[in-house]
Every structure is written in structure tokens, then in C-alpha cells.
Structure 1
Amino acid sequence: MTAFDAIGLDADDTLWENETFFRVTEAEFCALLADHGDPEAIAGRLYDTESANLARYGYGIKGFMLSMVQTAIELTDGRIEGRQIARILDLGAEMLAHPVTLLPGGEAALDALAGRRLILITKGDLIDQERKVAASGLAERFAGVEILADKTPEAYARVLDAHGIAAERFMMVGNSMRSDVIPVLELGGTGVFIPHALTWNHEHAEAPDHPRLHQLSDMAALPDLVARLEAAG
């Protein structure tokens, strides 16, 4: 009997790049509004708008686009030009069409874990996430794909129940302490934190002192960690 009946893996910034494209777009947005503030102030205003809009628009590029438009309108007191709004929409469209760039070590780690029950668990816009899963070329490695509105303990519990998995026999791997690790620890599962060089501020959280929390430098080390934990019983 193995220690883990299933291993969940995050997608954005765990298996492929994501936040990098948001940062590039954010820089272009700040440049577009350079007459209305310095880049740091504009980026901070955009972050505040995004955070306030999460309950309304959810996570993902489309909500980001709407938050950029709202921020631009507010910063210009409604005087932003139509061509500038059009440029913001173009920036979002470019993000939605961007090729999927796999992170180093991810595909090899999935190959090394072949034969195990792997479940891709991501959050955000359904259409965009489905596009990225298909474009990644990794879909066939997973026994299931779950696209959530948010990653809460309740959402994970529903996923585990739907797949017939006990929390104590489940491992979740991802780059967000807030979304990928802490909720699963709260349910009684194992969390593996693999930091990414760029992580949205909203996803940061203090790492708990927890015996089932593990941290790796990259995905390449995941198969060995799984083997060590199972050998330890």
C-alpha cells in the first residue's frame, strides 16, 4: 500500500509560466498611463482594484483586463481615450493567445511519476485554463483535471470527495502557499511548496510550522520526495 492514493499538481507557475506574462502586461499598462503616476503607484492601484474585484470577476486574465480598464478610468478621472482602452483590451487578448511555456523539470517529473494517480488542480477562467491544459501537451498524464473558482479547503474537499480520495492520503504540489498548500494541510493532507521566482502578492502567505509541509527548489525533486515519504511510512 502506498502512502499517497493521489497527487494533485497546480498548473500556473508550477508546470508552466503564468505570472511572468502578467508582469510584462502590467509594465505596459503602467507605461500607457505614465502621465498619471509613477509605475509603482499605478501597479499598486491596479493590485488594489484586482483584489477588490476577485469576488466579482474571479481569477484570470479576463478579470485582470477588466481591472485594468477600471483602474485606467479612475486614474484619468474618466478622461481616458478610446484608443487607450482598445490597447488595454489588446494586451489582454495577447495574454489569452500566448503560447504555453513549460517550466524546467515538470514534464520529466510527471514521467517519473507515471502510473500514479495524478490530478491537475488549477483555478481561474475555465476557457483559458482549458486552453492552456490542451496546449501544454501534458493532459494525458493526468487522471483528472479540476478547474476551480478558488482553492479553499471546501473546494479541495469537494474534489477529494468526487474522486474518492481520503485527505490523509493526498499530496498537493504548487507554488502558492496560500492556495496550494495551506488548504490541503487544513484538511489533513500533505503539501509540497515549490516557490516560483514571480508570485502574485495575493498568493503569498506565511508558511506554517507543520510536519506535513515540504519545500522543494523545483519539480525535478518531486519524485524523490514522494519515494522518501512513502519509504518512511
Structure 2
Amino acid sequence: MEIDFSTIKVIGFDADDTLWVNETYFRDAEEHFATLLEDYETKNKIDQELFKMEIKNLGLYGYGIKGFVLSMIESALELSNNEVSQATLLELLNLGKNMIDHPVEILDGVKEVLKGLNGKYRLIVLTKGDLLDQERKLEKSGLSVYFHHVEVLSDKKEKNYQDLLDHLEIPVNEFLMIGNSLKSDVLPLVNIGAKAVHIPFHTTWQHEEVEEPKEKNGYITVGKLTDVLDFL
């Protein structure tokens, strides 16, 4: 179905895995975690238990590296029956610090797209995760000059988006969201009447995986970010 983007005045960008690489580092950390705990369980079991711990703790810690590290530590204690060494726990803490300190790797085409859209539309960042970490990444990226507003949400559900659009006085028919997650960046927006562009990233967190609707209503999927310049 062809979508009319002529009413769009404000464009929201997801940050992680839309503007810069993020999930790849979590997958690398999970591999390291499994190696550290290999004396206690199989890799498959370790992966499963860590994921379950992350989901259990989402309501307490929210999204982001800090909550991930706390979940790794708690999982390590459970998987080892509290026998994991202090050295391993310290290594998990350092693993999280290294993730936070990792250089920001901007994805291909991001600067080209932001330069192309800047001035034509009001651009904002809508992301979830740890506030301090996301602010740090945005500053390191050098992309903040392109955005009128940055919002770090506790979650990305219909109500989160609707409340924010109301607060920023953005009519829903004038808003377009661009992101890599169907679950978080696309479907909630089309459900409230906005439009969205889905740009899949090669790695997706298990929690973000959803089945694609049989009919695409209100959004399109493109292969790369620069494709949006063909219709915006």
C-alpha cells in the first residue's frame, strides 16, 4: 500500500541500531558471559537464563547497559549456586563499563539523511534505555546539532508515544517515526494513527522480535536509511 507522507512535519528517529550500532555489543557481551560461566552450565542454558533474568528485571531496572550488567551478575550467582568467583563478578562489572565507554559507531547514511532532512522537517530523537548513557552516546556521536528535541522513554508503547506527542503538541497525522524495531518503533505508532518507516538491523534482541503483520498499514520497510530520501 502506498503511503502519503505529504502531511509529515515532524520525524522521530530511534537511536540504538538506527543511528548507531548497539545490539552487536550486547551479543558480544552475552558470548563473553557464557564463556565465563561455562563451568556451571551449557551455553544454551546460560543464554536462556540470562534472557529470563533480563525480562524479570525490566520493571526494576528498565532498558540499558546498567540493567543488563545487574542481570548478568544475578544470573551468574544463580547459575553457579553462589559459587562464582569475585574475579568473575569484577570482570562482569568491567564488561559493562567497557560497553558504556565503547566509541559510538554511527551507521552508514545517517549523517547524509539528517543533513538532507534538516530544515525541511523538525527532527527529534525518541529512544529508550538509560538516560545518562543515551545522552552520552548522542554527545559522542556529534549528531545532536540536527535534533530539536531528545526524549529517552521508559518504554515505547502506544501510551508513551501518545503522551509525548500531546506534550510536544504534535498532531499524530504530522508525525513519522523511523526505527529498526517493529515492536517498539513501528507498530505502536501506526496503532495510534501515525506513520512509520521500518529499517531492519541485522541483529535484534529476542525481546524485540514480533511477527510482521500480513498487511502493512501505515508503515513501509526499506533496506537502508538513505532510502527515505527518495520520498521525504
Q: Is the 8 A contact 2:190 2:217 kept in 1?
A: no
1:2 offset after TM fit, Å? 4.3
Moved more, 61-70 or 40-49: 40-49
Structure 2 partner of 1:193:
198
**How far, CA to CA, are the matches of 1:202 and 1:177 in structure 2?**
11
Q: Is the 8 A contact 2:13 2:125 kept in 1?
A: yes
206, 211, 223: which one pairs with 1:217? 223
**How far, CA to CA, are the matches of 2:81 and 2:182 in structure 1?**
37
Q: What SS does the aligned partner of 1:34 have?
A: coil
Among the aligned pairs, what percent are the same residue? 42
1:179 offset after TM fit, Å? 0.4
**How far, CA to CA, are the matches of 2:15 and 2:126 in structure 1?**
7
Structure 2 partner of 1:147:
152
Structure 1 partner of 2:161:
156
Letter matched to residue 26 of structure 1:
E
- RMSD of aligned alpha carbons: 1.2
42, 47, 50: which one pairs with 1:46? 50
Write the mapping of 1:3-22 to structure 2, written as runs, cut at 5 A.
Answer: 3-22=7-26
**How far, CA to CA, are the matches of 1:174 and 1:14 in structure 2?**
6
Structure 1 partner of 2:68:
64
Query: In the alignment, does 2:133 pair up with 1:128?
Result: yes
Q: What SS does the aligned partner of 2:231 have?
A: helix
**How far, CA to CA, are the matches of 2:80 and 2:217 in structure 1?**
50
**How far, CA to CA, are the matches of 2:195 and 2:139 in structure 1?**
27
State TM-score, norm by structure 2. Answer: 0.95
Letter matched to residue 152 of structure 1:
K
**How far, CA to CA, are the matches of 1:155 and 1:219 in structure 2?**
24
In the alignment, structure 1 segments of 5+ residues that lack a partner are 227-233
State TM-score, norm by structure 1. Answer: 0.94
Query: In the alignment, does 2:168 pair up with 1:166?
Result: no
Query: In the alignment, does 2:80 pair up with 1:76?
Result: yes
Which runs of at least 4 in structure 1 moved beyond 6 Å after TM superposition?
Answer: none
1:113 offset after TM fit, Å? 0.6
Letter matched to residue 74 of structure 1:
E
Query: In the alignment, does 2:124 pair up with 1:112?
Result: no
Query: In the alignment, does 2:24 pair up with 1:24?
Result: no
**How far, CA to CA, are the matches of 1:127 and 1:90 in structure 2?**
18
Letter matched to residue 126 of structure 1:
L
Q: Is the 8 A contact 2:174 2:194 kept in 1?
A: yes
